[in-house]
Amino acid sequence: MTGQLRAAIYARFSTDMQSDASIEDQIRSCRDYAARQGMEVIETYSDRAMSGASLMRSGVQKLMRDARGGAFDVVVSEGLDRLSRNQADIAQIHQSLTFADVMIETVAEGVISEMHIGLKGTMNALFLKDLAQKTHRGLKGRALSGKSAGGITYGYRALTRLDAKGEPVRGEREIDADQAAVVRRIFQDYAKGVSPKKIAEALNLDGIPGPQGGRWGSSTINGNRERGTGILNNELYIGRQIWNRLRYVKDPETGKRVSRLNPERDWVITEIPELQIIEDDLWEQVRARQGALKSKDTPVPVWDRRRPKTLFSGLMKCGCCGSGFSKVTKDSFGCSAARNKGKAVCTNMALIKQADLEARVLDALAHHLMDPEAVTVFCEAYTAERNRLAASATNTRSEFERKLSQLKRDHAKLVDAIIAGVPADQVKDKMIALDDQRQKIEAKLEAMETSPAPLRFHPKMAETYRDRVGTLIRGLSRDAGLTETREALRGLIEKIVLEPRAEGEGFDIDLHGALAGLLRLATGVEAGGAATQGKKSANANGPAGAGLEGVDMIEEIVLVAGTRYRRDLPAPFCLV
């Protein structure tokens, strides 16, 4: 193995207004830096039009996963702010990479130490705060002048013109006649007593695209009155623009933005009569109906106001349209799209009782998934795939060995030429190039030798699985550890597909198992434990020899169990 450092390059630009050339320029600069430092660049990662204030970026997340897997020794970036501008996030990145024995080097700062993290992180955090304040101040100026300080609202279109200096004037808009007609239709129908669900259904049946180009939903129309969201609550339609009603903050736990209502004193309200679409009297009729629906005389059912999380919430899918299933009565589930977007999207109006659904799914978990025949089919398919991959690896190794032999022969010829009297400086560059290629191929061959061993499955895996899932199901009747039990059962399921029967009575249910979760339960390997590091599990409760290696490499395979038992096995394959 050579002493040459393996480098990964990371590049990022922030907004859609920048071009992909920014990424290429950063990568080129990092490659030049790596070459000067004698590093071998083995991978590049990038995020396009992504803010550095969040770690919810696919490129940086993949980089972190590969770093934990030992794919490289150093991360090279143009500057520390390319990795993140958030002080806490850059400290987390540095801590995680340090744990994985991966260094950070940047073209601007060189080798990154704890001092850089502290000082540069603080500077980047201050930069973000200053940028946010300046942006907010600029948007406020636009709002006060009656211009758009955000996106274009449905019913309007942006105006494009240049000022006296030839610069584009931003934020101007005008009424879009076609969309304005749809807005009036929505207000008029609602004032007549038509529900938002029925309005959305009618718009979808007429083929009218929604604000984002997709289907209409009741929430798009109804929104939230207090927050001013939704078609029915947007005061711009009566010529009054309200800006800064909401502010957005990042949840440090999830990295996602969360909206919060600002105090009314901070709102910026501007009258723009030329943008009025809805007459004042129609607006007041809609307000009156909304108020009546929220009065005590028409209380909203408890299961509509606050829907508790059930055992399989979020896992149910409609077999007709693929949309989610949700609570539509106190104890029943139904297709959300059929109720919120109408027949143009889905005609499945059938209901299934919560008790019936949970009983059937739990029975399938206990008796259909991981049965001996299913496990046999899986192991045979897995072995065949491993053999195919092994054969491919053998061919690749043979090719590398052939190239290595050729490189050694070419290198020996150059040595012989020098011995025969050819000046060394004439063949020096060629010899260095050949030696570099030799080192790279030898490194790849050595990596192949350290590849993880194939998975091994214990013969009693199915029996072990049934015992453990039975224990989990019995645990649902106990209060102690109920949350953990529910989550453990949910972790065994990828999705539950409910398809109404042709005769109109009941559902056929296909239960798609999450293979990694099933195998971990069956073999005693904990998620995130030693198995994911390529080492055998030391779980004393698991059966002897049941260690599970490399679970991540087979997570894409799906096992399915349902009320029907099919023996045909379409690719990749289903166990039903």
| 458-477 pLDDT, tens digit each | 556 667 777 777 787 777 77
CB of 69 closer than 8 Å to CB of 99 = no
CA dihedral of 518, 521, 522, 524, whole degrees rounded to 10: 140
d(CA 222, CA 231): 7
116 and 34 in a common domain: yes
pLDDT of residue 77: 93
105 and 28 in a common domain: yes
pLDDT of residue 295: 54
Average pLDDT, the chain: 75
Q: DSSP for 216-283, please give it.
A: --HHHHH--TTTT-SGGG-GGGGTEEEESSEEEEE-TTT--EEEEEPPGGG-EEEE-GGG--S-HHHH
Whether 249 maps to a domain, the answer reads: yes
18 and 91 in a common domain: yes
- Any idea which of 235-244, 257-266, 289-298, 540-549 has the lowest mean pLDDT? 540-549
- In the chain, pLDDT over 70 holds for what percent of residues? 68
d(CA 371, CA 378): 11
d(CA 454, CA 473): 32
Whether 456 maps to a domain, the answer reads: no
- Select from 130, 147, 163 the last residue of a domain: 130
pLDDT confidence band for 330 (50 / 70 / 90)? confident
Summarize the confidence of residues 82-86 as an average pLDDT. 80
Whether 350 maps to a domain, the answer reads: no
Whether 554 maps to a domain, the answer reads: no
Q: What is the CATH number of the domain that holds 83?
A: 3.40.50.1390
The structural domain count of the chain equals 3
Q: What are the DSSP E strand ranges found in 82-235? A: 103-106, 110-111, 156-158, 173-175
Measured at the CA of 503, the angle between CA 498 and CA 504, to 5 degrees, comes to 55
pLDDT of residue 417: 78
pLDDT of residue 27: 92
pLDDT of residue 533: 32
SS (H, E, C) 375-401: HHHHHHHHHHHHHHHHHHHHHHHHHHH
Provide, for the chain, the percentages of residues in helix, strand and coil under a 3-state DSSP scheme, each rounded to the nearest 5. 45, 15, 40
Whether 323 maps to a domain, the answer reads: no
293 and 188 in a common domain: yes
At 494 the three-state DSSP class reads strand
Closest listed residue to residue 171, CA positions, set 163, 180, 160: 160
By residue range, what is the domain housing residue 269? Answer: 173-299
Measured at the CA of 467, the angle between CA 466 and CA 471, to 5 degrees, comes to 110
Whether 122 maps to a domain, the answer reads: yes
Distance of CA 492 to the CA centre of its chain: 20
The residues, any chain, with a CB within 8 Å of residue 143's CB and separated by 6 or more, are 149, 241, 243, 244, 268, 270
Please, which contacts does 254-258 make with residues 24 or more away whose CB atoms are closer than 8 Å? 255/54, 255/55, 255/56, 256/56
189 and 111 in a common domain: no
pLDDT over threshold 70, residue 44: yes
109 and 46 in a common domain: yes
| 561-572 pLDDT, tens digit each | 444 433 333 333
Summarize the confidence of residues 501-510 as an average pLDDT. 80
pLDDT over threshold 90, residue 40: yes
Residues facing 512 on adjacent strands = 495, 560
- Select from 299, 315, 350 the last residue of a domain: 299
Whether 139 maps to a domain, the answer reads: no
205 and 91 in a common domain: no
Summarize the confidence of residues 416-431 as an average pLDDT. 79
123 and 178 in a common domain: no
| 237-276 pLDDT, tens digit each | 988 888 778 777 766 555 566 778 888 888 888 888 898 9
b/e sequence 50-69, b meaning 16+ C-beta within 10 Å? bbbbbbebebbeebbebbee
126 and 17 in a common domain: yes
Q: What is the CATH number of the domain that holds 292?
A: 3.90.1750.20
Closest listed residue to residue 274, CA positions, set 184, 147, 371: 147
Distance of CA 120 to the CA centre of its chain: 29
Whether 525 maps to a domain, the answer reads: no
pLDDT of residue 32: 92
| 168-225 pLDDT, tens digit each | 777 788 899 999 999 999 999 888 888 898 899 889 988 999 998 888 988 899 888 8
Summarize the confidence of residues 366-377 as an average pLDDT. 67
- Select from 68, 95, 130 the last residue of a domain: 130
- In the chain, pLDDT over 90 holds for what percent of residues? 15
pLDDT of residue 429: 79
Query: Residue 514 to residues 293, 556, 558: CA-CA distances in angstroms?
Result: 43, 9, 7
Summarize the confidence of residues 346-355 as an average pLDDT. 90
